[in-house]
Amino acid sequence: MGEPSGAPPRGEDTSAPRPESTIRIESIRVDSDHGTLRGCDEPSGWRWSDRACPEPEWTAASRVPVSHTLGEKVHLALTLETTAATPVPVPLKGEGPGGILFRQTIPVSPGTSSVTLVSDLPLPRKLDDLSFDVRWSASESTSVVPAVTSLPLLITLGPPRSEPLAPYKEDGATPRRVAKAVEWAKRANSLDPHAIVESFLRRFPYYALLPNPDVPAVYDHPRYFNDVGGAWPMVEYVAASGECQAIVRLVRGMLAQIGAPGEARMLVVWADPDQGGGEKPLVDDWERNPRAGLSKTRVVDGKRLSAALVDGPVVEGKSYPPSHTRLPDGSVSPGLNRYEACLEFSHGGMTRYYCGGVGVLSSKHDILKVFWGLVWVEFLPDEGFRVEKIVRRYRGGEAPPEAVSGRHPIRSFLRRFARRFA
């Protein structure tokens, strides 16, 4: 027996009305984005690029990372394509992570239109790297396509630096750098910039002076003087560490990535045997004067002697293996250094000096104490050295293990200096 005329086909659900129109999201631009990220086309490496990341950040074919300040509302600009028989107001709604909502009644007309939405709540006051997923809906008679949009969102303290100031460009912002800096900074469990700096430095309890074969040669371990990311590749080889100046460069770069407030300077501290017998700490900004540090030599009785800061106890007249040679008893030989590199960081009326394995110091005058003393040495043919004279001792006893690893080797510098100026 046939169905009555006009009856719906058997099995069809007639309880929900069919949408009469469709809102298609063509693109999303994040107007509250910092707009400082560079190098989105180079996501696999650490190198900084001067190419700005593209806008809009979301399309059906692309997802561009966004950086955004914590505790602030999110502003979105949507481009919409609408199919509608007649103009009609529609309540557009977007549900984001953490209960964030975007709500606005928009006039829907056939064709392309734009709408600006502001979240009802700000982002949480915490550093984060998340997928900013928004679930979109409208009225029963209007569908939204796609129903969900997703963007990589990097939540920072402030705008990352768009143009690098440091010579090796570790402070210039890229998505990969910001993501790694946020990851490390989260472990501080604090938004206090001083606490974040200290947590960064704790990753490197010691320094390295000798190249590690596990680190690709292109990175120039332990100095990290390269054009493929400077000190940034160090985050992949944390156990291998690096020279103190490389660690400080990385930490300063990370602070720039998360938009940390405060002033960060990379200082090098050393002493000179001809200035107050080595008692006075000499300080310079390494980025303004990369040649700063101890580089004094003299000839005495036909011997060419070099001044050096030694990080372990020594005895006059005794010869030692090359710096930080592992000895049969498991200890290491004393290391000779040109300087100690520290991050001078000022924020909230407080200045501290962060020197890695040495700890946090409140005065630059205390930095010399990371060394055992200042000495004159004669270098031997086997790369070892003989201590000719102890000029000054800064502390007594054995050097703690975290300090024995060295700062910046003096012999390699003197050889490069001699080759360049011979």
| pTM summary value | 0.84
pLDDT of residue 15: 52
Contacts of 44 (CB under 8 A, 6+ apart): 176
pLDDT of residue 358: 67
pLDDT of residue 18: 56
Annotated domain spans of the chain: 21-156, 175-261, 264-421
pLDDT of residue 165: 87
First-to-last alpha carbon distance for the chain, in angstroms, is: 109
Burial class (CB in 10 A: 0-12, 13-18, 19+), 308: buried
Burial class (CB in 10 A: 0-12, 13-18, 19+), 53: buried
Q: How far apart are CA 337 and CA 308, in angstroms?
A: 6
Strand order in the sheet with 350-354: 282-285, 263-270, 340-347, 350-354, 360-361
pLDDT of residue 356: 64
**Tokens standing for 391?**
């000029």
63-76: pLDDT as tens digits? 999 999 999 999 99
Given its phi and psi angles, is residue 29 left (phi above 0), alpha (psi -120 to 50 degrees) or beta? beta
pLDDT of residue 290: 85
Give the residues of the chain that fall short of pLDDT 50: 1-14, 398-407, 410-422
pLDDT of residue 402: 37
3-class SS of residue 255: helix
- Report the interhelical angle of 193-202 vs 175-186 (nearest 10°): 90
> What class, spelled out in words, does domain 21-156 have in CATH?
mainly beta
pLDDT of residue 313: 94
Q: How many CA atoms lie within 13 A of 62 on its CB side?
A: 14
